[in-house]
């Protein structure tokens, strides 16, 4: 990972008010920043997890403890799928030309569920 190092000074009273431990200041600030950027939809779920330095389950639990909705959508899924496939490929192998096929199937399955999610169907199915 290509990274930039940032050095900042924080007043102790601000760290205390933000419930950030002096011992774990760097990791706590990364988590807070990742949660904020995810909540504001600046970063995707996967990128927020990466920034936080946590695994997905830990990040999901932290977000839940702060009442932050996961909002995990098709774009997040697509990004995670790309990451998984890229990590499975050997270093010297490129992405297959027909890679869009699994994504097309995912899009089709999601649009087919959207097809049934409308007021007319709700009235018919819920009136019985």
Using the structure block, give the residue that is written with the tokens 């008010």.
17
Q: Stretch 75-97: mean pLDDT, rounded?
A: 73
The Cα 25–Cα 116 span in angstroms is 48
57 and 16 within one domain:
yes
Q: Which domain holds residue 52?
A: 12-65
pLDDT at site 34: 95
pLDDT band at residue 74, thresholds of 50, 70 and 90?
A: confident
Kindly state whether residues 59 and 78 are assigned to the same domain. no
Q: What is the dihedral of CA 36, 40, 41, 44, to 10 degrees?
A: 10
Query: For the whole model, what pTM was predicted?
Result: 0.55
Looking at the 3D structure of the chain, how many domains does it have? 2
**Is residue 84 assigned to a domain?**
yes
Is 124 contained in some domain? no
Q: Is residue 53 part of a domain?
A: yes
In this structure, are 61 and 22 located in the same domain?
Answer: yes
- Would you say residue 92 lies in a domain? yes
Higher pLDDT, residue 109 or 90 = 90
Is 90 exceeded by the pLDDT of residue 48?
yes
**Distances in whole angstroms, Cα of residue 3 to Cα of each of 6, 28, 74:** 10, 18, 28
Say yes or no to pLDDT of 45 above 90. no
């Amino acid at each position: 990972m290509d990274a930039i190092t940032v050095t900042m000074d924080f007043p102790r009273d601000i760290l205390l008010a933000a419930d950030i431990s002096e011992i774990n200041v760097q990791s706590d600030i990364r988590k807070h920043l990742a949660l904020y950027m995810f909540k504001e939809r600046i970063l995707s779920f996967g990128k927020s997890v990466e920034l936080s330095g946590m695994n997905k389950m830990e990040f999901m639990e932290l977000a839940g403890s702060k009442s932050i909705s996961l909002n995990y959508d098709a774009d997040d899924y697509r990004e995670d799928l790309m990451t998984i496939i890229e990590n499975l490929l050997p270093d010297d192998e490129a992405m297959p030309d027909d890679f869009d096929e699994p994504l097309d199937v995912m899009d089709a399955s999601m649009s087919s569920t959207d097809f049934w999610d409308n007021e007319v169907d709700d009235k018919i199915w819920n009136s019985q």
